[in-house]
Structure 1
């Protein structure tokens, strides 16, 4: 049986698994165009699970029961356009338990009373789905294309942007309607970043296709600019300080958001799958040498470097990064460790609560002020054919709930009940 356990591989998956699977199928020519007709096809009440070994099946039919009572927003992959993974305006339940586990698609984004994600296991097509965040009941599904859709989408006001392997789609947030799509740009592997009315997409991680960063007007999809990256970039872009930051296999690029002019290019031993994190004070990224770099956002000057793997979570005056299977808390000023470590790699932070997970599929929440564990949740392993899988690819916290995408399904965690 195959059981991948490499820590380096785990951290790579943690940084990229929630981006979804674009695939390398290219254009299929006969893919159907998206429809604006509401699609509410009921899923069969079947289950999926292993062909042998541990049986961890989950229902394929939402809604979940009992209902969660979530509130708050998580509008983009890693919360905001800078990919900080930090929402100071929501509080994770101090004592949480599982309310339901469903076959309900990939990593979610939320905006008020709507949750958006992409269909996952067991579907014969790919679709953007609007759901009830309390139960995951499907409200509407918009079919996109058959060859591959990247996850998760981005909510920006009254619009939702999502990328396929070759183009971007912009849909209405409150109804089943495609507002614009395109143009074709083969090799999109990650989600877009949306900031200041602009959707930025990185494409070209595909043989024989120019690698470009492109910016589109959110209002109508018209192209604002394009920038040649020269080598593959498969992570998500970051937007902060009036610039777009993207990492290729050999460099870090900063591009002016308004004009597309290069701000800087800094050579580094990086991976094309790296997702940078950016604020007005610094751009952060990790290298192939398991080092976290902090660069000045204006000219790329190195401010400091420290041990670290995967995308960090950046809070007000500290940041959290994976070091040797633990979450280290570093000062944003100089990169020195500023608090005790937590067991597991960082996913997200909500106010004073850090959410982490380990290689064995264990999710935990820690109080960063008191440096103590609040609760833990174990996700089971699943076996399909001869492959055993276990692990958490995404954890999204809001007030009253934590949504967890794991190898065995989509978990809804809420406050512990009496």
Structure 2
């Protein structure tokens, strides 16, 4: 069920969404696996965990099919010694290759059929999960035919084609999720946040700021740690900071920094000087926002009660206004959005695709685990579960 229109803002321990039932999708993806792969390869890329260096989680592509099927499935932990399940990082995709990390390896899979292309023994840095399931490996990022990874003994750059080491910087250990732009790599390190040359790994500066997740846009690096801190991308000089206690990824769009904090607030700050522009502070615990040019999507998780997916209209110079919501079971996260679909993972119902405008549940992929990462392409999606199961969905 989906509620549209105005949603009341009511404080308390229960969801403010008036919807009182699980979404009823038009299509349920059958769990059967034939591993036939994609007949038509998806276009586009998802080179960093939240699509772009600003962490919007939004890819400007169309959902190609309202009735997708499983195109392939792979278990990246299958070849590990002893067969123990290992935590998996978020997936990134470029050059027809899916790349992710376990606690001991970086693994590359074919986007076409999920076959393993190469595996490199490296120990990634660990970061707290954004959905409270413990620590997880810091994901790699992709740019210019290379894979960049923060490891326990420095930064590594590998060739996407074969996993060969292009360069290593072992000055100090990585401590968070890297992000990359056209000309630089930014990485949380144990001695601060550092900027590296993407060609040779030379460290260009280190900012004295702690954090595990970054956003980079418009010449500014936004760092989420104990505080929210902005530094100059060219020099590392601190521009502003606030004690917001950010939770998860900072998101930047059109000069606004979207901050979800540990107090349950969702607020917007000016990228230029950090001034607060608006705040949704009714203790609804709006978490992990995905931001598109017109909308903000977030999961409301009010304590032990049922959670809800919320869609908000962006408003110039004001807080986002609720457009629709859909109640879900405990847990979950909005993971990504396309031009006409928003995707959520739910602890008991799996992956659900909603239409962006009215919140209609188009399809659902019921899985028993809570997958927390999704890459959205033009013609397919690739998701990974914490146990290392990677699944690709697409049209027949």
**Large movers: runs of 4+ above 4 Å:** 145-149
C-alpha contact (below 8 Å) 1:346/1:354 kept by paired residues: yes
Structure 1 pair 140–293 and aligned structure 2 pair: CA distance change class (3 A) = same
C-alpha contact (below 8 Å) 1:104/1:136 kept by paired residues: no
TM-score normalised per structure 1:
0.73
| Residue 218, structure 1, aligned to residue 198, structure 2 | yes
Aligned counterparts of 1:401 and 1:368: Cα–Cα separation in 2:
17
Structure scoring higher RCO (CA < 8 A, sep ≥ 6) equals 2
The equivalent of 1:340 in structure 2 is 324
Q: Deviations over 1:20-75 (max 9, x none)?
A: xxxxxxxxxxxxxxxxxxxxxxxxxxxxxxxxxxxxxx9xxxx9612124222111
| Residue 329, structure 1, aligned to residue 311, structure 2 | yes
| Residue 194, structure 1, aligned to residue 180, structure 2 | yes
Aligned counterparts of 1:282 and 1:292: Cα–Cα separation in 2:
12
Mean Cα deviation higher: 149-158 or 109-118: 149-158
Shift, 1:152, TM fit: 2.0
The equivalent of 1:84 in structure 2 is 56
The equivalent of 2:370 in structure 1 is 391
Aligned counterparts of 1:267 and 1:118: Cα–Cα separation in 2:
32
The equivalent of 1:156 in structure 2 is 143
Task: List runs of 5+ in structure 1 lacking aligned partners.
Answer: 1-7, 9-57, 121-125, 205-209, 381-389
Aligned counterparts of 2:74 and 2:97: Cα–Cα separation in 1:
18
| Residue 414, structure 1, aligned to residue 384, structure 2 | no
User: CA-atom RMSD, angstroms?
Assistant: 2.5
The equivalent of 1:20 in structure 2 is none
Report matched runs for 1:91-240 at 5 Å: 91-104=63-76, 106=88, 107-119=90-102, 126-145=104-123, 150-186=137-173, 188=175, 190-204=176-190, 210=191, 212-229=192-209, 232-234=210-212, 236-240=213-217
Structure 1 pair 80–374 and aligned structure 2 pair: CA distance change class (3 A) = same
Structure 1 pair 181–64 and aligned structure 2 pair: CA distance change class (3 A) = farther
Report matched runs for 1:351-362 at 5 Å: 351-362=339-350
The equivalent of 1:365 in structure 2 is 353
C-alpha contact (below 8 Å) 1:313/1:320 kept by paired residues: yes
Structure 1 pair 90–199 and aligned structure 2 pair: CA distance change class (3 A) = farther
Aligned counterparts of 1:117 and 1:127: Cα–Cα separation in 2:
9
Aligned counterparts of 1:216 and 1:102: Cα–Cα separation in 2:
33
The equivalent of 2:37 in structure 1 is 67
| Residue 290, structure 1, aligned to residue 264, structure 2 | yes
Q: Deviations over 1:108-151 (max 9, x none)?
A: 2111422222257xxxxx33223211211112223324997934
Task: List runs of 5+ in structure 2 lacking aligned partners.
Answer: 1-12, 14-30, 78-87, 127-135, 302-306
The equivalent of 1:265 in structure 2 is 241
Shift, 1:253, TM fit: 0.3
C-alpha contact (below 8 Å) 1:92/1:350 kept by paired residues: no
Aligned counterparts of 1:393 and 1:96: Cα–Cα separation in 2:
19
Aligned counterparts of 2:241 and 2:125: Cα–Cα separation in 1:
33
| Residue 400, structure 1, aligned to residue 386, structure 2 | no
TM-score normalised per structure 2:
0.76
Shift, 1:186, TM fit: 3.4
Shift, 1:281, TM fit: 1.5
Aligned counterparts of 2:386 and 2:100: Cα–Cα separation in 1:
16
Shift, 1:180, TM fit: 1.3
Aligned counterparts of 1:75 and 1:64: Cα–Cα separation in 2:
27
Q: Deviations over 1:364-395 (max 9, x none)?
A: 00111243111011112xxxxxxxxx312212
Aligned counterparts of 1:147 and 1:304: Cα–Cα separation in 2:
34
Shift, 1:244, TM fit: 0.5
